[in-house]
Structure 1
Amino acid sequence: MKKTSILFLALAAIFLFSAGYISRDYVSRDTEKLNKALNQPQKRSNSVEDQSPIKIGWVGPLTGDVAYLGQDSVKSAQLAVEEVNTAGGVNGRSLELIIEDGKCSLKDGALAVNKLINIDNVPVILGGQCSGELLAMAPIAEEKKVVLISGCSSAPTVTNAGDYTFRTYPSDAFRGVFTADYLANTIGKKKVALLADLGDWGQGNKNSFSGRFQKLNGQIVISEDFAQESRDFRTSIAKIKNSDAEAVLFYGYTEASLAFLKQAEELGLNVPLIGGDTWGDAEIHKNSFAEGIRYPDIVTNFSSAWKKKMEERGIPFSICTPKNYDNAKIVAEIMNRVGFDSEKIKNELYKVKDYPGVNGVITIDKNGDLASAEYDMLIVKNGKAEVENE
């Protein structure tokens, strides 16, 4: 048994390395993780006759800058899976959610999807949650014909990620247009400074906004990109103060946003500050320097029953919890109809129309995207976000 286990581990590592999914140093660094995974029971049958639990995957950031997003989302997905199992499971079989930390990282997303596909033999993965994470997973899942369905990825480039990649969270193509219209038409700001994270999410927001804003005769007087781990924005803030920018648009994750907002207050930056959906994090709102910040958010009308369940479990209503819950339920319903074959599941996902989600109707379009979205502009007052009334 030991020789067989060692041989299997070696073959798995060679496969992942030769396929280009992990680098030489990555194979070395994650041998322990792969060894642990490889010692789990392998290749469970997905046939209807088998009564063992049916595994589905989940990938998202559980550590790092955006950990809150994944930690909240996975709890919501777990709640949905628990409810499915309590109601009798899927075709008489329980669901088992296999959770992987994608760390909002391309490398970790690729490692996670390989493990879930090649070791756990899942037909469906809920995730990734971050856009870059999902885009790293997509070509691997496409080749292996495994379904990905994200409840949080928003970069416009996800639209063309592949036939097996879906999302129920709206593309930033919608959000960028809304934000541009708000700045130019609602509050009459035609000159803005734009700071954006270098990743797929930040650049997707930047490009979507810029295209629309310029069509509205808006000017981007300063445009700068920054790495996700950046924490010093003083030079950029000084440039903005010395420019004729009438507002600032900042696309960054929580830790970078906290640093920017704190430094903006310290340096006396006194123009409207507008962010992306990441500014919906309560960790930002609770700070005095967040008073008056604005960000666009999906129009929500939470199901009272779902809201009560979430409150009872102490699960926060963060930006990605609703769709992660919905996605688990959608997948379970489809499996009840067509079984566990990933191609059949994929085909059924393209037919999803007017599904009653916990915070709105879900229709999936021909590209695997959420077909439409509506937004409100929210403003933070006294540590709480509320819909702004202009």
Structure 2
Amino acid sequence: MARNTTTIDRRTLMKLAGGVGTAGLAGLAGCSATDEGGSGDGGGGGSGPYEIGMVDAVTGSLSAFGQRNQRGKDLALAAVNEVGVNGRNLNIIVEDSGSESSGGVSAAQKLVNQDGVPFMIGAVGSGVSLSIYESVVQGTDVVQLSQNSTGLGLTDFPGLLRMSPTGRTQSTALANIIAEDGYDSVALTYVNNNYGSSLAEAFVNAWDGDIAYNNPHDQDQSSYSGVVSEMNGADADAWLFITYQAEFATMVNEIFSSGYEPQLYGADSVSGDNVIENTPEGSMDGMKIVVPSAPEEQQSYQDFVSTFESEYDESPTVWSAYAYDCVITAALSIQAAEEFTGAALGEVVRDVTRPEGEQVSSYQAAHDILADGGGPSDVDYQGVSGPIDLDENGDPVGFLQIQEVQDHSYEPIGFIES
């Protein structure tokens, strides 16, 4: 797999600096992820940049998440490299998972075995993250911090950290919302992988009503007419989908063309522009979806949104914020650790996000505490995605947003703090 490098020119730097000021953004000029000046050992020596890895869904069915991740990553590198990490830059080697477990494992093997990174961000899909951990990371000192995985199974692997909250909170919220809407019977279908099965199981455990239909479906099918027909035959007015955008868009088209009119509900992964763009207007109106969310009233998140919109001419989703916070957490861990090794980074990565320290909402402020002699427990980095507070299982505190499809667009109608 070819290395994906990140280079941001001065014109882009000035554009971003005009959005929120130079603090945190002037470092875009130092965001090149090339080897120039490196030590040849993953950035572990000399004055060259520190190098960490990132496995992302650059292509494949989860590539919409991957694109947002890359943008969040680039903005975080800007903030880090303006200030520096122990007087050095941070570079990130990005490898593509192709949205598949096999691709993720190959990408991680390259990063760990060839590039020698001690810290790896990745991946998007829960099954991909688990495969990477079990096949590549487990038994080593490498720190793995997933940017977007919400599958419940990750909690069972304390060495596998994640920035996005566990999907158990989504499943419980969906069970409560469907019951509050007056339904007592649900038809449920879920993508046939760890993400889908774990969220579906959690929903079934949280749901007090009848499960009229409960079956998985495979990814990347050209038609799901059989699933749709079976759900309709189950005679449940509420239909719940735990799947990905491409699969769900196909299902919506088949539901609409068949003239079925159920009340639709969905987990986070069915929400996205790809679904809106590839389904007829009116086909999802009234649908309710629960998605991870950032604390939108928080000033640091608003600054992040402003910068993101200035650079990319679109609003970010919380997935971009998770990727941003993964990079900041990695940089703070490097600053706080006694040496640039996986073992040393693993000792501090949780501590720099925990509430025992001084609350700070920027890399600059957190870096200054550490540079002035503070230890990792003196810092409580409050991410743009929320308070983080990684626990002993590697899970963060999270926020959830309830969305409703109105006039073929997603509108927020409420928030839940996990």
Common fold by TM > 0.5: yes
Task: Give the drift of 1:285.
Answer: 2.6
Distance 2:289 2:149 in 1: 17
Q: 1:279 to 1:317 in 2, by over 3 A?
A: farther
User: Is the 2:294–2:318 Cα contact (8 Å) retained in structure 1?
Assistant: no
Q: Which amino acid aligns with 2:64?
A: Y
1:138 pairs with one of 130, 133, 138:
133
Give the SS at the match of 2:387: strand
Instruction: Please give the TM-score of this superposition, normalised by the length of structure 1.
Output: 0.83
User: Is the 1:122–1:146 Cα contact (8 Å) retained in structure 2?
Assistant: yes
User: Is the 1:106–1:133 Cα contact (8 Å) retained in structure 2?
Assistant: yes
In the alignment, structure 1 residue 225 sits paired with structure 2 residue 219: no
Distance 2:285 2:188 in 1: 20
Identity %: 23
Q: Which amino acid aligns with 2:400?
A: Y
1:99 pairs with one of 94, 100, 109:
94
Q: Which amino acid aligns with 1:71?
A: Q
Give the SS at the match of 2:382: strand
Task: Give the drift of 1:57.
Answer: 0.6
Distance 1:117 1:359 in 2: 28
List structure 1 segments (4+ residues) > 3 angstroms apart after TM superposition: none
Distance 2:39 2:287 in 1: 50
Instruction: Please give the TM-score of this superposition, normalised by the length of structure 2.
Output: 0.78
Task: Give the drift of 1:42.
Answer: 8.3
Q: Which amino acid aligns with 1:309?
A: T
Unaligned 5+ runs, structure 2: 1-37, 356-380
Map 1:164-313 → 2, pairs under 5 A: 165-184=160-179, 186-213=180-207, 216=208, 218-286=209-277, 287=279, 288=281, 289-302=283-296, 303-313=301-311
1:364 pairs with one of 371, 383, 390:
390
Task: Give the drift of 1:254.
Answer: 1.2
Q: 1:199 to 1:45 in 2, by over 3 A?
A: closer
In the alignment, structure 1 residue 331 sits paired with structure 2 residue 357: no
Task: Give the drift of 1:75.
Answer: 1.7
In the alignment, structure 1 residue 353 sits paired with structure 2 residue 349: no
1:373 pairs with one of 382, 398, 410:
398
Q: Which residue of 2 aligns with 1:67?
A: 63
User: Is the 1:42–1:119 Cα contact (8 Å) retained in structure 2?
Assistant: no
Distance 1:283 1:368 in 2: 31
User: Is the 2:245–2:271 Cα contact (8 Å) retained in structure 1?
Assistant: no
Q: Which amino acid aligns with 1:368?
A: G
Distance 1:68 1:45 in 2: 29
Task: Give the drift of 1:191.
Answer: 0.5
Task: Give the drift of 1:180.
Answer: 0.8
Q: 1:43 to 1:380 in 2, by over 3 A?
A: same
Task: Give the drift of 1:54.
Answer: 1.1
Task: Give the drift of 1:157.
Answer: 0.7
The total of aligned residue pairs comes to 343
Q: 1:283 to 1:51 in 2, by over 3 A?
A: same
User: Is the 2:62–2:124 Cα contact (8 Å) retained in structure 1?
Assistant: no
2:78 pairs with one of 78, 82, 103:
82
User: Is the 1:176–1:205 Cα contact (8 Å) retained in structure 2?
Assistant: yes
Q: Which amino acid aligns with 2:316?
A: F
Q: Which amino acid aligns with 1:142?
A: Q
Distance 2:97 2:392 in 1: 27
Q: Which residue of 1 aligns with 2:365?
A: none
Distance 1:374 1:96 in 2: 29
Q: Which amino acid aligns with 1:109?
A: G
Give the SS at the match of 1:225: strand
Map 1:110-121 → 2, pairs under 5 A: 110-121=105-116
Distance 2:392 2:185 in 1: 36
Task: Give the drift of 1:172.
Answer: 0.9
Q: Which residue of 1 aligns with 2:121?
A: 126
Distance 2:242 2:43 in 1: 42
